[in-house]
Amino acid sequence: MQKKYVVLAALGLAVSSAHVLLGSPAKPAGSAVITGKVSYSGTPPKMKPIDMSKEPVCAKEHNPPDKTQNVVTGDTDALQWVVVYISAGDQGGAAPSAPVRFDQKGCMYLPHVLAMEVDQPLEIYSNDPVAHNIHPMPKINNEWNKSQPPGSPPIQTKWDKPEFIPVKCNIHPWMHGYFAVLRTSHYDITGEDGKFSLKGLPPGKYTVTAWQEQYGSQSQEVTITAGETKTVNFVFKVLPYSF
Amino acid sequence: MKLTIKAASYFFSGFLVLAFMGAITCFAQIDHNITPYTKTMTSNIHGITGRAYGDGQMRPDVGVQLFRRYCVGCHGPQGNGEGENASWIDPKPRDFTVATFECRSTPTGTLPTDEDLFDSITRGFVTTNMPSWKALTVQDRADLIAMVKSFSPRWEKDKPGTPITIPPEPALTIESILRGRQNFDKLQCWKCHGPEGHGDGPSASTLTNDKGDPIRPYNFSTGTRFKCGATNQDLYRIFMTGLDGTPMPSFADVVKPDEAWDLVHFLRTLQVSLKTPELALFRKWVAAHPGQLKPIGQEQAP
């Protein structure tokens, strides 16, 4: 019995050390998890219905109308669309080659906030029968502005510096989105339950940052050991008006 | 006796306070201490090298001195468009610190060439407070371009884009104009520019530039010179590179060069107050084919 396990262990060690020795380009895998919830305290602003009457083709697709998305709350006191990521302590690696996708559908951006890594390919699709223009407004990266009339191919691009980039359409002023360009592969965006989970972390000391488009960033430091799951919660103080 | 001296000392100290306040307000308002990001930027215009600072020979610091004389009032000592005149003018002066420029021969998202900047200050921007600086010598303007580039770190990191190729203009035909008209409809330029190019499209009233200031789309019917030139080539370049910093996007990825020339021919017919061969040809055709033109901006297949 013991012999079998020893053999298996030796095999496992041989395989994993061969993997390491062969110089795998992947970042060091880990097994620790940082999880938690982003919530708000105070009274959040009421999200308003979007008036798309200037674009009847899109207005038809939203009955009842979609709401603005600058402060989206979820179950109980959950805060949605918060980007939670490792801002320090993470060993960077090569950018992933798989593209991330940003859609325009019914004159709305899907998703509202799209996270990606520095230099990761980004594909922007338009599924609407109306013309849009994609106008990211970065302050650190280079700004550009391209037209996407109906039937045009996806725009292929990438960002080379980390930044939270607002993106808008000038033709449809209610369209607002964000590109969260990050230097880490450990990130998550909260949904309706406000929960996030950063998996596959090697043991170490990290700074976890939560960013919300109206309320900015909050950070906490976490030290984590192999295989540990630690909980880190964020609470944003909200005000009852949009800005 | 005591009263007089006391009174006199009060007056004197009061005078000193007033003089001090006067001096402060007089000098504090106008700070011409120009603070660029770098002092070593140069420009190359038609083989002439322009410099903001230093020259070592007969023209020390000419660029910055010209800037102080002609430009700082609007563009500000930090080159960020916040000169003392800025609060009184609209559109606001260019912010050189972000290195985003409207009139370029290079693709959207890239820096303009030195020649683009030179052309911009030579031409000025009609319908704005930016005058034409043609009266200055080519060397002076080259020095000023070096000064403009000195305000942003981007010029040290990025190279200007590759200027787009503008193919020779094909012959003007009514077919070209009508194709251009169809494209104007399909690309939905009228959403901002309006079906007749009056700058009154459904989205026109909500347009803002990068700084959040309201901005109007070009009204073709006035016939004023375009932001970035007056020729057909300039018009071609405007929508094939986009006006960075404004809502006007680049159509380079979605319009082919021959389609672009068709669009140029059609856009000239919108400038109803100019005497252009395009407008004359178009009017003749419309008179000979009444009721054949479908109005623009009508069909939107759901």
Contacts of B250 in chain A (CB under 8 A): 144-147
What is chain B's mean pLDDT, rounded? 92
* Fold match, B42-157 / B174-288: yes
Given the cut 0.90, state whether the ipTM is greater than it: no
Q: Which of A22-36, A157-171, A203-217 has the lowest mean pLDDT?
A: A22-36
**Which of B158, B203, B249 is nearest residue A147 as measured by Cβ atoms?**
B249
Q: What are the pLDDT digits (tens) for A54-106?
A: 999 999 999 999 999 999 999 899 999 999 999 999 877 788 999 999 999 99
pLDDT tens per residue, range B41-51: 999 999 999 99
Give A12 or B237, the one with higher predicted confidence: B237
Residues of chain A in contact with residue B158, where contact means CB-CB under 8 angstroms, are 142
Chain B contact for A137, CB < 8 A? yes
- Quote the CA–CA distance of B14 and B68 in Å, as a whole number: 36
Beta bridge partners, B14, equal none
Phi, then psi, of B230 in degrees rounded to 5: -130, -10
- List the one residue out of B69, B242, B205, B249 whose CA is nearest residue B144: B69
Note whether A57 contacts B254, CB cutoff 8 Å: no
Please state, in angstroms and rounded to a whole number, the distance separating the CA atoms of residues B238 and B120.
13
**pLDDT tens-digit map of B52-94:** 998 766 777 889 999 999 999 999 999 999 999 999 999 999 9
Q: Which residues of chain B are within 8 Å of residue A155 when distances are taken between CB atoms? A: 253
Locate the chain B residue with the closest alpha carbon to A173.
B206
- Name A47's Cβ contacts closer than 8 Å, sequence gap at least 6: A67, A68, A69, A70, A71, A72
Q: Show which of residues 173-192 on chain A sit within 8 Å of chain B, judged by CB atoms.
A: 173
Going along chain A from its start, the domains and CATH numbers come out as 30-237 (2.60.40.420)
Mean pLDDT of B234-250: 97
Residue B176's pLDDT band (cuts 50, 70, 90) = very high
A189-224 pLDDT tens trace:
999 999 999 999 999 999 999 999 999 999 999 999
Q: Report d(CA B268, CA B282) in Å as an integer.
A: 10
Mean pLDDT of chain A: 90
B251 lies within 8 A of chain A by CB: yes
Distances in Å between the alpha carbon of A108 and those of A67, A104, A111, A174? 10, 6, 9, 8
pLDDT at A237 over 80: yes
The 3-state secondary structure of chain A, one letter per residue: CHHHHHHHHHHHHHHHHHHHHCCCCCCCCCCEEEEEEEEEECCCCCCCECCCCCCHHHHCCCCCCCECCCCCECCCCEECCCEEEEEECCCCCCCCCCCEEEEEECCEEECCEEEEECCCCEEEEECCCCCEEEEECCCCCCCCCEEECCCCCCEEECCCCCEEEEEECCCCCCCEEEEEEECCCCEEECCCCCEEEEEEECCEEEEEEEEECCCEEEEEEEEECCCCEEECCEEEECCCCCC
Domain ranges of chain B: 42-157, 174-288
Q: How confident is the model at residue A20 (pLDDT cuts 50, 70, 90)?
A: very low
| Percentage of residues in chain B having pLDDT higher than 90 | 83
For range A22-44, the mean pLDDT: 79
CB within 8 Å of chain A, chain B residues 61-120: 98, 100, 108-110
Asked if the B42-157 domain carries CATH number 3.40.640.10, the reply is no
Burial profile A50-76: b = 16 or more Cβ within 10 angstroms, e = fewer: bebebbebbbebeeeebeebbbbbbee
A227-241 b/e (C-beta count within 10 Å ≥ 16 → b): eeebebebebebeee
Residue in chain A nearest B158 by alpha carbon: A142
Mean pLDDT for A167-175 is 97
Q: What is the pLDDT of residues B187-205, one digit of tens each?
A: 999 999 999 999 999 999 9
CATH pick for B174-288 out of 1.10.10, 1.10.3470, 1.10.760, 1.10.357: 1.10.760
Nearest to B227 by CA among B244, B204, B251: B244
Write the single-letter amino acid at A194: G
